Structure formats: C-alpha cells, structure tokens
Structure 1
Amino acid sequence: MADLFDRSGDGGEGEGAPPPPARAASRPLADRLRPAALDEVIGQDHLLGEGAPLAAMVAARELPSLILWGPPGVGKTTIARLLAEATDLAFVQISAIFTGVADLRKVFDAARMRAGNGQGTLLFVDEIHRFNKAQQDGFLPHMEDGTITLVGATTENPSFELNRALLSRAQVLVLNRLEAPALEAMLSRAEALEGPLPLTAEARAALVNLADGDGRALLNLAEQAQRMGPGPVDAEALAKRLTRRAAQYDKTGDGHYNLISALHKSVRGSDPDASLYWLARMIEGGEDPRFLARRITRMAVEDIGLADPQAVTLCLDAWETYERLGSPEGELALAQAVVHLALAPKSNAVYRAWKQAVSLAKKSGSSPPPMHILNAPTRMMKEQGYGSGYAYDHDAEDGFSGQDYFPDGMERPTFYRPVERGFERELARRVEYFARLRAKRGEEG
C-alpha cells in the first residue's frame, strides 16, 4: 500500500529513476522544470538563502515538522520533496482531499516499518487544512515519537484552519507570491530548455502578468505560447489565445479578510484611489456586494462618525440603490459611497466613547439612576422621593440645569471627546459650552 503514496522520483518509478523517453516528452513543462536542488528554487530566498531558516535546518540536518503556507504555484511541493532528499528521508506525498483515515493508518504503518529499518519519513500533506480536527489530531502521536516528519502545505491561514495542538508541534513558514523578476527568471529557464518564446517584449510582459504570481500557471501559459510560433506574437494576439488566470480570492477564506481589511484601512487612510482598487478587487473576485454595502456602512459609523453625520445616510442610500439596480449598475453607488468616506473627515470619537461606556456599564453592575430623575407615576413613589428635586431643563437659564444624571456616588466620567475635524468641530464647541455651564451651576449650587 505504501507504493500508492510514495513519490520518490518525478515520475514515481522509484528513487531517482528517470521516466521513459516517450513519457518524458509528454510531461508538462512545469514538471520537467521542477528544481533538482534547493538552491534552484526561485523566489523564496527568505527561506532558502544563506542563513535563512530552511537553509540552516538542512545544514544542521535537523528538520522539524513544518507548515508551508503560501499561494498556489510558489514551490511548496517542490521544497518538501527537496528537503526529504537533502536530509535522507523517504518522501511520501498524500493529499487531504483524497486520503481517508484508513489510508492514513497505512501510511503511518509504513513509516513505522521504515523507522525500524533506520530510515525516517517526510510525510508531505497537500491541502492539509482540508483535514478535519480528528484527522489532524491523528498526526500528533506520530510526530511526537519521530515516526514522521510532517510537512503540510496550505493556501489558507494556518491560525484559522489548523488545530492549535498541531501548530504547537510544527513551525509555520510563509512562502511568497512570485513577483515579476522571479517569473522572468523562470521563463528564462524554460527558454533554455524549449527555445525562445515567439513573443514581443510587450507580449512577454503580458504573459507574466497573466500568471498572477503563480509559477506553475506561468509555465503552463508559456507552453501554450510556444505553440503559437513562429512569431513574433504581440500582446493583442496573445490575449486572444490565452485566458487570464482567475484572481486568487476565496469569499470565505483568508483572501476575503485580507482584502476587506485593505479596503477598510484605505478608506480610513483617506485614499480614494486605493479604496476603489480594493473594492474593485473584491467585486471582481465574486464578493457579495451586499456584504460590501454592510461593511461600507460600518466604516461610516466607526471611522467617520459625527465628523460627517451624512456619511451613514449616504451609505444606506447606496445600499438601497444597489438593491434596486443590482449588478453591475448598483456597484457604482457603492463606489460613490467609498469615495465619499475616503475623503470625509475622520473621527472615531463616538466609537471610543461607546466602548468606554459599555466597559463602565459592565463594571458598575446594577447601580440605579439617581432618585431625582426617576418618574413618580404613583403617590407611594412620590412619597418615596422619586423625582424629588428634579430640575426641568426648559425652565432653567439657557435651557440647561446642569444636574447629575449618573448613579449616586459615581464620579462623573468623560466618554465623548470630539475631534477638531468636520462637523465635530461644532460638537466640540457644544461640549465645551455645556461643560462651562455645568461648572457654573455647580458653583451656584
């Protein structure tokens, strides 16, 4: 059974055995260009460069269990395979999508037999985040007793998707998205094997852009472009033949939270262009515009507040406009709201005041209101002193009595501190005005 999972060579025929010539010709370019040594891996120098974590582990021949976190096509599988070779471990690869509990048991049994013969096992688990909690827990005893060195690969945030117990026994390493220089280096390596691509300089740049940071996607696109010869093929012709890779975006995963965070912080940072960009990225990624309408309204409440009291109304109007028009016309209303919020004066004064008020309310328990502001609808309540001493503000000078409305014995707190921006400038003047009157009434009393 172990043979079903062993992937020692590129073709699976055995340790280092080259595939037959006919099969080699049919193998995808991405597979034929798979690095044969760690120093051939492109774009992950922060992990593999001199003195970097993985390089140090290999040099010391001490490889702990690892979680490799990064987007598709950046070398997670290749690095795991090469780590096994560099540390003389048997390389076993499984996928969480296709592997059940019975399969895992056979993998662990085979690893235990190898350990008995003096060889360790590097178990590479692709899409490890797809295993449920019980399955993830199943790795723990075999990691602890040294039966396996686990290397898991995931495109999702491990802190959200993996058990705390598993994370405590493995080191998380982040692999970077491949930027243009790394993709260019990969293209050059492909051309050394296959010959020059029949592309103009503009078409070559467009090809790199189409890959969207995914090395495997780049090589698959290059393979298609190679068949478009003899060339030169320009960018327009390339765009007609090749399809743009779908943007990496998961409406329920890490991309969802990263992009909404980017949108919110761009609005808070008063950058309308960045705000529109991240809004467009989410819309193009398939995000529900209703979710965006809700979050945009939240931004108005949390970050604009009373510095621009109309901001919330404008967001609600944009939300309703989207509900009436739908996509794509209604998305323009959301874009207008985002631009308004980005350029609006900012204040989180009410947001902070509310949090402080909630905190004090929790601490003060069931402290009752002072008697003078309690209604007295019955004779008995009047006799008990309900409402006694209440000053009706409309009868007071300036329409302000200055009475204390907090529970008896509570030192008066200050929650709301308006900022000197937008409409809150006016509110700040009002706060100061009533504070002066309150102090005056106190002196008079």
Structure 2
Amino acid sequence: MGDLFSPEPDGAEPSGEDLTNRPLADQLRPRSLDEVIGQQHLLGPEGTLRRMIASGRLGSLILWGPPGTGKTTVARLLADQIGYKFEQISAVFSGVADLKKAFEKARGERMAGKRTLLFVDEIHRFNRAQQDGFLPVMEDGTVVLVGATTENPSFELNAALLSRSQVLRFESLSLEDLEALVKRAEAKTGEQLPLDDDARAMLLTLADGDGRALLGLVEEVMASARPGEVLDKASLLTVVQRRAPIYDKAQDGHYNLISALHKTIRGSDPNAALYYFARMLEAGEDPLFLARRLIRMSVEDIGLADPQALQQAIAARDAYQMLGSPEGELALAQVVVYLALAPKSNAVYTAFKSAMKVARDTGSPMPPMVILNAPTKLMGKQGYGAGYIYDHDTPEAFSGQEYFPEKIGRQDFYRPVERGFERDLAKRLEYFTRLREKKRGEER
C-alpha cells in the first residue's frame, strides 16, 4: 500500500495529460522533504530526520503512525536526499521469496558501490520468523531498513528488530496541516473548493488527520458539485459519506482510547470522560466492554471513598443489558459522570497489591493457633483454638487478639485517604488501633 503523495516508482514525471487523470494525492506528491506537510518534529530545522541527514549517517528506522501521514513519501524522499537506491515491498503481498530477491538485489547494488534503502510497508504484517530474516542484512550493511507500521511496534515487532532500529512517531495531520493541503489542491487544480466556511471545517474534521483521505474527499466534492454551487454542511454530508473514525477494536486505537477514558475519570474530568466514552461508542465499541471497564474503575480508583460507585457501575451495566442500544448507553454515560465526580481513593487497590506481595514472599506460615478450629480432640490437645476470645463477649465487641502469623508479624496494608467515605473509615481504623494497643497494654 502506498502512502500520501507517493512519487512514481522510477521517479519520472508523468506527462501533463496523464497527470490530470491521476488521483489528486499523486498529483500533489512532494518532490523534496521541504514540501512535505506536517511532521515538523521530524522534518523541521531541529527535527530528528534533519539531524540524521546533516550527520550523513542513516540507520534503520521504524516509521510508526496513522494512515495518510506521509510515511512512504518521507522514506522515498529520504533515500533521494542521501543518494540511496530506494526499494519498496509490502508485507501484505510479499513472502520469503520476495525478501530474498530484494536482499540479493541490494547485495548487487552494494557491490556496485550503491547503498539500498529497503522500505517495508505494513512491516507488522510479517511474522516473527520473517522479521528475524532482516537482522543479518541490517547488521552487515546490505540494506538500511525503513519499516512503516500503523500498529504499536512494542507489541507487533520483534525485540531484536526494534533494538537495531530507531522508532519515529508520525502524528495525525493537524487541522492547520489539512487546510494547507486543501489550499495546495486548490492551487494545483485551479478550482476553489465549493464549500462554505462551516462545510470546509467539517471536511477537515471528516478526514480525521489522514491527508490521503482528505484529498479523496476533495476530489469527491469537486466532482459532485454543480457549477456555481456552494455546499453547506448538510449538503456536504449528502455528497460524501461520513468516514468512520480510525479505530480498530483489537489494536492500538482501542487501547489508546480506553486508557484516555480511564485517566480522565481518574482525573475527575466528566466532560473529557464523556468525550472519550462517546468516541468509543461512535467507533463501534461494545458497550458491555465499556461497562466492565467502568466497574473496574469504580473499585480501582474510587473504592471505599464512595462505596456507591461500584453499585452505580453494576446498575448501569444491568440497565444497558435490559434496555440495549441506544437507550441503555445513557445509563453508562450517567455512571461515567458519577465516577468522574466521585471522591477518589486507590487505598484498597494498593492494600490488596501489598497483601498479595507479602503472601507471595512469605510462603505458608501457620496462622496463630488461637484462631484455628479444633474439630477433633487431638487438635484440641495440641492447642488449636486455645485461648480464643469470642469478640462479641467483650464490652467493645473487640478482643484485640493478634491474627497475623508470628513469622511475618503485624502488617499495615490499608491506609484510607482523607476523602469521601474513607474519612469515616480512617476514624474507625484509628479507633480499633487505639483499642488494640490499650488491650495489649493491659495484658502486659
């Protein structure tokens, strides 16, 4: 698959007649890195790629970012800039035989004194063994590998391949970048986009940061509008079908948005939380997945600061299951707001993790004999349950006995915060702590 503004494979400029029949993205392809729109953190005067070019040394790269952000274009122009032979393969259509052919060709070029930049589109589609196949030719200098991926390299690429490459993050094009792209298209075609200001702004939004998609939309509008017609927002949506957001429920976009939702609820921002919740629903996320995550948030980030949070989250899930979409989604939206505005505490979450660590690290010490049952006479004779005080028989319904194994001693896991209902729990905990110390003093 090509990327935004991909030049001709042989670098030749097509004739004027041929050019006008080509997709707008091909007509507007940059001829140098200076013409690339966006990615200034990489291509600006102090950008990473500019520094590489200035140093005269280019190592293997992984270009990671959404579709239509210029990964293929930058790789091709980078090869031109430093005088490397550009070879391109796609992991979607290539196999082991294609890789071997590309490597042999690169070896031939190297013997002729020419280095090769091997660009691998969708590199994450190669399996682990195929990815390992790149390592020898990278290490002996046969190729400089530049791979492009829309997926998180940390999850999709071998550690060995990543360790030999620098990962460069490509960002979605900003609205300003997209507007510059539209102006370039208007200048190239000699036509003004037939949209009013609101419709023009909507068109940029529909592109969702994808320059190639934007140029496709521009072509649709220019081809569909009648002479002299200026489209408003409603007319624009009639001409172009609304483009689905970039979101794959099994991939990086999914995890990015659920992370954003979780952190905005934890950060007590109901407006931002509703936004990410709505984005996920709009992209087709399963509402029950969101319901499960909201239940988790209610215990992980709110806990006993508001014991009603868990009940609210479970009730919202039940309401959705009863009502279905879209009515039940309002119940989930309600709990999003409730959780965002609830007092926050991770005291139970932290206490549980600490208890689990101690349980793992200390083996299997015997609980104190005093709290063990003695269902047989033999166990009674051995001291099981001897001296146990029934708490309800004491004036405070609190015996103050030690319940931790002697081997590990008393532990302090749960430390309530001074927020919400945990303020009351902190007072209760302090009360029992004082009472326990008092009873121990009396025993001495």
Band of TM-score, shorter chain? over 0.9
Tell me which residue corresponds to 1:307.
305
Q: Cα RMSD over matched residues?
A: 1.5
CA distance in 2, matches of 1:143, 1:179: 34
Q: Which of 197, 211, 222 is equivalent to 2:207? A: 211
Matched, 1:340 2:335: no
Query: How far is the alpha carbon of 1:20 from its aligned partner?
Result: 3.9
Over residues 326-384 of structure 1, what are the superposed CA-to-partner deviations in whole Å (9 max), with x where a residue is unaligned?
22222122112211111111111111111111111112211100111111111111111
**Corresponding letter in the other structure for 1:216:** R
State the SS of the aligned residue for 2:300.
Answer: helix
Instruction: Please say if 1:108 is aligned against 2:103.
Output: yes
- 1: CA distance between counterparts of 2:85 and 2:256? 37
- Taking the aligned partners of 2:172 and 2:326, their CA distance within structure 1 comes to 30
**What one-letter code is carried by the residue in structure 2 that aligns with 1:331?**
E
Q: Answer whether contact 1:211 1:244 (CA < 8 A) is retained.
A: no
2:402 matched residue in structure 1 = 404
1:362 aligned residue: 360
The reply to whether residue 254 of structure 1 matches residue 252 of structure 2 is yes
Question: 1:179 matched to which residue of 2?
Answer: 174
* Runs of 4+ displaced beyond 6 Å: none
Encode CA deviations 1:15-70: one digit per residue, 9 max, x unaligned. Answer: x3222444322111111101100011111111011132101112222111100011
How far 1:164 sits from its partner (Å)?
A: 0.4
- Once residues 12 and 250 of structure 2 are traced to their aligned partners in structure 1, the CA distance between those partners, rounded to angstroms, is 42
- Determine if contact 1:156/1:253 at 8 Å carries over to the other structure: yes
- Do structure 1's residue 225 and structure 2's residue 258 form an aligned pair? no
> What's the CA shift for 1:230?
2.7
Per-residue deviation, 1:409: 4.3
- In the alignment, what sits opposite 1:140? 135
* Residue range with higher mean Cα deviation, 162-171 or 54-63: 54-63
1:278-304 Cα offsets, whole Å, 9 max, x none, are 111111111112211111100011011
SS in 2 for 1:248: coil
Q: Report the CA distance between 1:226 and its aligned residue.
A: 2.0
TM-score by length of 2: 0.95
Aligned partners of 1:185 and 1:208: how far apart in 2?
Answer: 11
Report the counterpart of residue 374 of structure 1 in structure 2.
Answer: 372
SS at match of 2:396: helix
Deviation string for 1:385-415 (max 9, x for gaps)?
A: 1111111111112111101001124331111
CA distance in 1, matches of 2:12, 2:189: 23
State how far apart, in whole Å, the 2-side matches of 1:125 and 1:340 are.
Answer: 47
Q: Is the 8 A contact 1:275 1:339 kept in 2?
A: yes
1:298 to 279, 296, 299: 296
Structure 1 counterpart of 2:61, one-letter code = L
Identity percentage of aligned residues:
62
Question: Normalization by structure 1: what TM-score?
Answer: 0.95
Match of 2:119 in 1: 124
With over 3 angstroms needed to count, the CA separation of the structure-2 counterparts of 1:202 and 1:409, relative to structure 1, is closer
Distance 1:58 1:407 in 2: 65
Equivalent position amino acid for 1:224 in 2: E
Report the CA distance between 1:317 and its aligned residue.
1.7
* Partners of 2:365 and 2:407 within 8 A in 1: no
Counting only pairs closer than 5 Å after superposition, residues 29-40 of structure 1 correspond to structure 2 as 29-40=24-35
1:164-188 Cα shifts (integer Å, max 9, x gaps):
0000111000111111111111111
Aligned residue among 31, 36, 58 for 1:63: 58
Query: How many residues align structurally?
Result: 436
Gaps of 5+ in 1: none
Contact 2:273 / 2:336 at 8 angstroms: preserved in 1? yes
Q: Which amino acid aligns with 2:389?
A: A
Rounded Cα–Cα distance in structure 2 between residues aligned with 1:333 and 1:166: 46
Q: Could you say what secondary structure the match of 1:124 adopts?
A: strand
Please give the residue correspondences for 1:3-82 in structure 2 after superposition, counting only pairs within 5 Å.
Answer: 10-12=7-9, 14=10, 16-82=11-77
1:320 is aligned to 2:315: no
> What is the CA–CA distance in structure 1 between the aligned matches of 2:432 and 2:46, rounded to whole Å?
64
Q: What is the rounded CA distance, in whole Å, between the counterparts of 1:155 and 1:111 in structure 2?
A: 26
